[in-house]
Structure 1
Amino acid sequence: MTVSLHHIVIDAHDLPALARFWAGVLQWRVLSEREREVVIGPDENAPVGICFMPVTDRKVVKNRLHLDLNPGADDRQAEIDRILALGGRRVDIGQTGTETWTVLADPEGNEFCVLRPKSTLTA
C-alpha cells in the first residue's frame, strides 16, 4: 500500500474565517466545520484538502512550509488582485524584485506565492 497526501493542515486562530479566505482563493468550498477543525476542498472526493486546526500562539517567523499557487493561463495580476481583495496582503521576505513569483500572506500572516503560469511541476 502506498501513502498519499490527504490534508495540508494550517494552524489558525479564527478557523472559519481563514477557511473561508482559502476557499475563496482556491475557489473551493467548506466541506466540514467543527469547533476544532474546518476542512475545505474542491469536493468531498478530492484527493487532497486543507484542514484548519486551532492554535493559541501567534505566528512570529517566516513559514517553514508555504503554498505555491499557479494562476494558470489567466492574467496573473488579476489573480493577485482578486486574492488581495479577499483579504490577502503583500509581504516582503527579502525578495530582490527579479523573482517570477509574488509573495503574499493570508489574513493570519501565513506566506504563500503566486507563481508565473506553469504547465508542469518542474517548469
Structure 2
Amino acid sequence: MKKQGLAQAVQQQARKLWDNYGLQKGYAECEYFAYSDQIFLSVETSNRTTFTVLEDVPVSKFKNMTSKDIYIDLLERLLVVIDDFEPEEKYNELVGDEYDSPEEFKAMLEQDKEELLEKAKEIKLELDKL
C-alpha cells in the first residue's frame, strides 16, 4: 500500500477510536506529514485537554498491518498514554498566567485522569475481545 493510502487507513482507525471512546471534542487531530513520512495522532478529553498518541512515528510502521491490527496498535498506544498521564505533571507543563484559578485547572486535570481511567477499562475489555 502506498504511503498516502496507509496514512488514510491509520486516520480511519483513529476516527474509529475517537468515536468509540468519545475522544474527539474538536481539537484532537490525526495528520499525515508526507514531507517527513510521519503521522501524528492526539485524543481529547471532555475538558478539552489533548494528549499525543502518535508523534514522530513513520507511517511505514503500519505497513503490512490490517485495519484491525492498526486499531489494536492505536488502542495499545493510547493505554500507554493514559497510564503515563499524571495530572500534576500536565499542570506544570500547561499552567501559566492565563489561568485565573490554578486550583480549578488542577481539579479539571484530575477529572481528565478519572475519565481516561474509565476509558482504559473499556479499551482493555475491547482488546480482550479482538
TM-score past 0.5 threshold = no
Point out the structure with the larger strand share.
Answer: 1
Q: Bigger radius of gyration, 1 or 2?
A: 2
Question: What is the TM-score normalised by the length of structure 1?
Answer: 0.29
Higher helix share: 2
